[in-house]
Amino acid sequence: MWLFVAFLAVPLVEIALFIQIGGLIGLWPTLGIVILTALIGTWLVRSQGAMAMNDIRRSFNELSDPTEPIAHGAMILIAGALLLTPGFFTDAVGFSLLMPPVRKMVMRHASRHVKMRRFEMGGAGDPRRRQPHPGRDPNRPGTPPGDDIIEAEYEDVSPPPNKQPTHPGSGWTKH
């Protein structure tokens, strides 16, 4: 329900702001401000997005928890979408999401509602964490697992060698 209200309220707020600001400074300065904020916002999103990607890569390389860098990157992405949306309210929210203290405040607020149960680095391919497969005998390395067998039928559909086309060439292909 709150999403419906947001989709209804945001355009109404934007229209009201356009009318008020356009009445104060005129049409062309209002449009100029909207275009200028989109250009500045795009430049800021690109630079901060690159920094966020570096932070994410660093956390993966150091095998540390990537939750915070990924959340910062997501908020920068949302800020970019808001800054490209024409309007003053969306620009204000977008520019505020580009400020790291605001992003940290949003993360603190969101962390009260989101609970992470488990975080692991590595996986099946990580030799430090290799465990025997449940259906496999660890003492006999060549034994196949019992529950991973898939029975299927197949038909070879590859074309016979040296098959010539039955239609005249179109000029676009080499036959």
- pLDDT (tens digit, 9 = 90+) per residue, 68-110? 899 999 999 999 999 988 899 999 999 999 999 999 999 999 8
The helix/strand/coil state of 37 is helix
Listed by start position, the domains of the chain span 11-114
Token match 């229209």: residue?
15
- pLDDT (tens digit, 9 = 90+) per residue, 108-138? 998 888 776 666 655 555 554 445 555 555 5
**Inter-residue long-range contacts of 80-87, CB under 8 Å, 24+ positions, other chains counted:** 80/41, 80/42, 80/45, 80/49, 83/37, 83/38, 83/41, 83/42, 83/44, 83/45, 84/38, 84/41, 84/42, 86/14, 86/34, 86/38, 87/10, 87/14, 87/17, 87/18, 87/34
